[in-house]
Chains A and B, each alone.
Chain A
């Protein structure tokens, strides 16, 4: 900008150059504007399903979400005040059983994958857990049915929890591995140099440093399995009655929603909408917890 005023008179070549660059600049600006609009539109589109779902859930389900929905048992068609208390407690119990299996195994496996990188066993475990991660959830249900329901002769909360827990394992393992790999080698060396044994370094320094990320990964995995229906169809099976026995078939929100949604009754449809709304709210709360968990104990620090 200052150069032309200082120069005596731009030559013909300089003028041509200026014209050319001005043209290029205009074109680039135009392309930029178009691409920003396109990308923004796609970003909005990505969240559109959630927005639409929330809209319908609130429209059809909000009116049925009342106090008795959480405290009452399902009632026959025609009776007012039915709820899903059994399904809510069932889902919580199933999540508990799944976490009992999925979290220790997943975190342990992830720690192994991160600490023994490059070993043949680690590589094959990583590959297999990626395959497991992509496995259709109904296949997990078949697995639990084959190994728990058939030998025991009845559906049970255990079987449903195991199916969900098996789904959690690869998710938790992979996020744990990623988080543990983020812990700098210098931190491990510092612990080793203090006279920490390798296992103690892994457990008290590495896992603790990575814990915020691991908790986040665990909560995301829980949020994902909380809404699973397919693995529960022939494991937990569902239950119309109040049951907290892990040896008996147990109700679960997704199953209840499914059963009510395919029924021919309008009131049950409304209950299904309400159940879906409660389920989404549950997952939303878990996701929020996951976000807060990343803040760690010393939030004022360097933010790692």
Chain B
């Protein structure tokens, strides 16, 4: 069930791994942790060793609970009554073919869906026992607790790198009894950039414009910006879709390292990516949730013939 399981690796090979991604992971020329010999090894070693323990944890600690969620664009019914629980502080991947509603579903989880004209949502999404769709709940407050990173990097072009990371802090005032000085903000910015594995690359140019960074750096900056406010849940909407394999690998490592700190929900087109970074995987098809189980199980022993058809590349 875990990443180093031989069965998963065989399954991954079955999935016609794009050679370039495979090479990037194998070669892994950058960001060598001082302790480990090969970064790829470090990437695997951090994995909790007992899948059963993780399963148990997943079962009793829920990060985000979704109950019969429907989403519409005008008359189009994009997501059909999805019910599932996302485990707390683990990574959950949502896979499925283009247009299956996975991005729409993700955007329902922090009330971003309703920002599109004619869009509508029904159902419940509970964060820490509170339904974020309950009348009277301010979507702005929801979005402060549930961060989001998009497919294309979206650094604010008029802000420096530092200002970009601190952008969320401006609207997220200090928590109760906490005073936030200038040096506190500097510390938060540094911590967020370190968590996003970007600090070493930008620490000498924090006051330069964010648009001068490469695409991969911009995306990690956006992740740092989302992490700076310490959200309970981080939503990633195909965060590596516009990145090259090396940047993709960095983002994947970073997602991997967020496990244990933040509940992460990642939408991806790339099944290898889902297999690499996630603990649980949900498969969506045409607006329906087809299967939702431990990642290893889904890729090696899918319970639904449609899942099997998709992961073996027969459609989508």
Contacts and interface: CB of A to CB of B under 8 A. Distances in A.
A302 to B, nearest CB: 5
A12 interface: no
B156 A209 contact: yes
B211 A298 contact: yes
A200 B229 CA distance: 17
Contacts of B162: none
A196 B225 CA distance: 13
Interface string A189-201: 1111111110010
B212 A298 contact: yes
A216 to B, nearest CB: 15
A191 B150 CA distance: 11
Contact of B208 (A184, A211, A300): A300
Contacts of B168: 194-195
A187 interface: yes
A194 B212 contact: no
Interface in A282-303: 296-298, 300-302
B158 A211 contact: yes
> Interface size class for chain A?
20 to 34
A208 B160 CA distance: 13
Interface residues of B, number: 30
21 contacts: A186-B150, A186-B152, A190-B154, A191-B156, A193-B110, A193-B143, A194-B143, A194-B167, A195-B143, A195-B171, A195-B172, A195-B229, A196-B140, A205-B156, A208-B158, A298-B157, A298-B160, A298-B208, A298-B210, A300-B209, A302-B211
Given A200-B171, A300-B209, A300-B212, A192 B154 contact: no
Given A196-B171, A301-B212, 15 more contacts: A187-B157, A189-B115, A190-B222, A193-B110, A194-B167, A194-B226, A195-B229, A197-B140, A197-B171, A296-B157, A296-B158, A300-B208, A300-B209, A301-B209, A301-B211
A32 to B, nearest CB: 39
Contacts of B143: 192-195
A187 B154 contact: yes
Interface of A: 184, 186-187, 189-197, 200, 204-205, 208-209, 211, 296-298, 300-302, 304
B110 to A, nearest CB: 7
A304 B211 contact: yes
Interface in B206-220: 208-212
A189 B154 contact: yes
Contact of A186 (B144, B147, B154): B154
Contact of A190 (B150, B170, B171, B209): B150
Nearest to A299: B209
Contact of A195 (B144, B156, B157): B144
B112 interface: yes
A300 B161 CA distance: 13
Contacts of A184: 154
Contacts of B147: 193-194
B237 to A, nearest CB: 10
Interface string B185-215: 0000000000000000000000011111000
A190 B156 contact: yes
A82 to B, nearest CB: 48
The winner among B140, B157, B160, B222 for most chain A CB atoms within 10 A is B157
